[in-house]
Amino acid sequence: MKLKRIITLTVFLFLVIGITACSDGTDPGTPSDGSTGSLPGNEPPYEPAESADMPPSPDTSADDGPDTEPPYEIPVPDVTKKEIPDTEALRFTAGMMNGWNLGNTFDASGDWYTGPEENYETIWVGVKTSKAMIDTLKTAGFNSIRIPVTWHPHVDEDFTISEVWLSRVNEVVDYAWDNGMTVILNIHHDDGVDFVYPDSEHFESSARYISRIWEQVAARFAGYGENLIFEGLNEPRLVGTQYEWWQDMGNDICRDALDTLCNLNQIFVDTVRAAGGCNETRYLMVSGLGANADTAVHSRFRLPEDTAENKIIISVHAYTPYNFALQGPNESGSVSEFDMTKTSNTKDIDSFMDKLYKTYISNGIPVVIGEFGARKKGDNDRSRAEFTAYYTASARARGIPCIWWDNHGLTGDGELFGLLDRNKLEWVYPKIVEALLRELE
């Protein structure tokens, strides 16, 4: 499959101000200069957002792009709201509402690019992120944004991040921060033995990379309050092996990978907490292998130990049901229609969400579905909107916010998850956006 497819204070008055900023997400001032799949055998292998974040067709906003959607009403999903514990953490994630991914942008990479580093974010989508773009999200009703970031093209041999790159990431974070949005920053496509590889053999080198990146990012954003979330890793996995997306927890290799990942998650948490400032109590997201729900609920998965109380969020990516949401239209078993009244269409969604609810939400531990969506397959926009309505209603009924993967793929025959034309600042599929936001009213 394709690879897809992120102060010490000297007087008491300033101390009070700093603590206040950490708790309420207000203006941080000048920051420190120091940033489902299914169980094997049930359905085709889980494939994550990364299968969708390769460069889309070159002209993603051409004049002959997607036709305007005909008017129609999205059905109201029949879902039963489950009991949600009244915890500070679950109130926090409820406030995130459903969100949007700035995909194929800061997560892009390409050894062939030789232009200015400040324009690197454009190499896959051809559009530089503007404040007007983020304002468009806020105006539509989105309250959260995930900014995936790939760091390795912008570091030296000691993994020191380029100031040009870190400043540009900071600038776009501020676009959302100034709108009062919740922002998620991560380590995204830094996979492989040179950077992050979750097995025992590469633990020390992976731990060094994770700690170096996060000590710099955490120092940079130490003055930003809890509305800035750090996500340790995107979809940590055994790249290039048969277990990359398809984990068999009865296998020694997969068990070692999950154990190693849990140790790397601990390195992430410890590094951020040690950075001081608002990092001491910031919400942090961690995942299982491949951000797969099944490994996150597996008995072998361990939450990191933390000095902050209930500030760990479980991160899951789930393009479910796979045959509708992610599988290529020309592949065997792929379907393009979704009917929320048919249990055969909805059972996989309810099944993995029930696992997350039982393991985490019912125990007061927050979960965020950091990537989901349904790719365009021919003229199936109505089904995509109906899928979105059901998926997000089912998640909200269990206390889980969802963040749509938008890779700016709007035309062509690739993985078309784009909703917003970033050149025109127009929503190409407003009914899907309506479905994303309707359950929040």
In the three-class reduction of DSSP (H, G, I as helix; E, B as strand; rest coil), residue 256 is classed as helix
Q: Determine whether 88 is an active site residue.
A: no
Which of 152, 154, 188, 298 does the annotation list as catalytic? 188
To the nearest 10°, report the CA torsion of 88, 93, 96, 101: 150
Q: Are 205 and 257 in contact (CB under 8 A)?
A: no
Residue with tokens 């974040």, as numbered in its chain: 53
Residue with tokens 């996500």, as numbered in its chain: 231
Q: Determine whether 408 is an active site residue.
A: no
Which of 215, 231, 371, 439 does the annotation list as catalytic? 371
Q: How far is CA 114 from CA 109, 118, 122, 123, 158, in A?
A: 12, 11, 12, 10, 21
DSSP summary character for residue 134: H
Q: Are 184 and 147 in contact (CB under 8 A)?
A: yes
Structure tokens at 362: 């019912």
CA 340 to chain CA centroid, nearest Å = 25
Backbone angles phi, psi at 231, to 5 degrees: -110, 115
| Distance separating alpha carbons of residues 145 and 180, to the nearest angstrom | 11
60's CB contacts (< 8 A; 6+ apart) are 125, 126, 408, 409, 410, 411, 412, 418, 421, 423
| Distance separating alpha carbons of residues 264 and 208, to the nearest angstrom | 10
Which of 235, 244, 386, 415 does the annotation list as catalytic? 235
Map 182-194 to HEC letters: EEEEECCCCECCC
| Distance separating alpha carbons of residues 299 and 293, to the nearest angstrom | 12
HSE, CB side, 13 Å, CA atoms: give it for residue 290: 32
HSE, CB side, 13 Å, CA atoms: give it for residue 108: 26
Structure tokens at 312: 């760990």
Q: Determine whether 152 is an active site residue.
A: no
Which positions are catalytic?
188, 235, 371
